[in-house]
Amino acid sequence: MSDPNASPQQAPIGQPVPPPPAPQEPPQRPTPDVAIISQFCDDVEEAMGRVVKGQGGIVRHLLVGLLVQGHVLLEGNPGTAKTLMVRTLGRLCNLEFKRIQFTPDLMPSDITGTSIFRPDRAEFEFRKGPVFTQLLLADEINRAPARTQAALLQAMQERMVTADGADHSLGDVFCVIATQNPLESEGTYPLPEAELDRFLFKLNLDYPDAKSELDIMQLHGAPKSPDDLAALGAVQTFSAVDLRVMRELIYRVEVAAPVANYALSILRSTREHTFLRAGASTRAGVMLLRASRALAATYRRGFVIPDDVRELVVPTLRHRIFRTPAAELEGVSTDQILHDIVGHTPAPR
């Protein structure tokens, strides 16, 4: 038996000493092939640009939400192409699409479904509601009271509906894109905080610039109907199968520890700001990093940089933080507060 304390064996005189074994590097995670994701976004943005003008940044963030199974809330004045944008997205990605028009008299069962008695079998049968789809447009969601809005809570969080003691899956592709008019409009209800926290992004649609608005007037003022999406160039580019593949790739995009700590610093600063009575939740931090992975992939990177986090801070957190009365009196918006926090949070180099 060899002595463990013995000195290393010497090479014979005149023979070269063998080099020491090279240290083994820790195994590296393979860099994801993000080219398919970047190409997906470029193709959809190009096709969407033929139908919806002047909303390129909104479209990119919509695609990020779709890639990470996140729900999106679109807010804008009537006539800013919110509904058209979502319908076109469903067509381009070949997703099953359904729309629910939220009204004050809408009932929860009108969303999730209802049980109907079948006399021939002497039993109740569950008739699925419009929530059973792949891409759901909840149009003017703030036109319905909180009781009806709450019907979406389980669907958005767990992707299932419980009815008569049985769970009904909505599938792994299920995504909600809701639209709403500003709260200053008549006949609207504020969304409950629990429901707001389930949205990955809140995206604000503004009026397009003058050139884009002229293009819209010429395009949709022509004899062709805006509902004729094929004539406007909105043809299928990808499918739900491609979407699942891209989602797997996104989970392999790297987030270095300094970048994660940078996102955490922004998150915790929202809980200490004097103009905020409630900061962002831990779920918001998880969603921020998940979305940053997808955004990095759309820019053909297999890793997240601080700029990705900065770009998504406002759409991810603006609906999850709540101002104090002092901030409301001074007219300081949540977006201004978030920009202030980002500007005072040092980014890693």
Bridge partner residues of 254 (DSSP): 303
| 13 confidence band (pLDDT: 50, 70, 90) | very low
Angle at 248 between CA 247 and CA 250, to 5 degrees: 65
Phi, psi of 200 (to 5 degrees): -65, -50
Q: How many Å apart are CA 183 and CA 179, to the nearest integer?
A: 12
Specify whether the CB–CB gap between 134 and 174 falls below 8 A.
Answer: yes
Q: Give pLDDT tens digits for 157-208.
A: 999 998 888 899 999 899 999 999 876 667 788 888 888 999 999 999 888 8
Q: Give pLDDT tens digits for 70-119.
A: 999 999 888 888 888 898 898 888 889 999 999 999 999 999 998 888 88
Q: Kindly tell me if the per-residue pLDDT of 24 is higher than 50.
A: no
Q: How many Å apart are CA 269 and CA 342, to the nearest integer?
A: 9
> Whole-model pTM?
0.84
Instruction: Tell me the domains of the chain and their CATH numbers.
Output: 36-45+55-202 (3.40.50.300), 251-349 (1.10.8.80)
Bridge partner residues of 124 (DSSP): 117
Cα 122 from chain centre: 44
| 237 confidence band (pLDDT: 50, 70, 90) | low
Q: Which residue has the tokens 């790297």?
A: 254
Q: How many Å apart are CA 270 and CA 277, to the nearest integer?
A: 9
The closest of 194, 143, 201, 147 to 176, measured between CA atoms, is 201
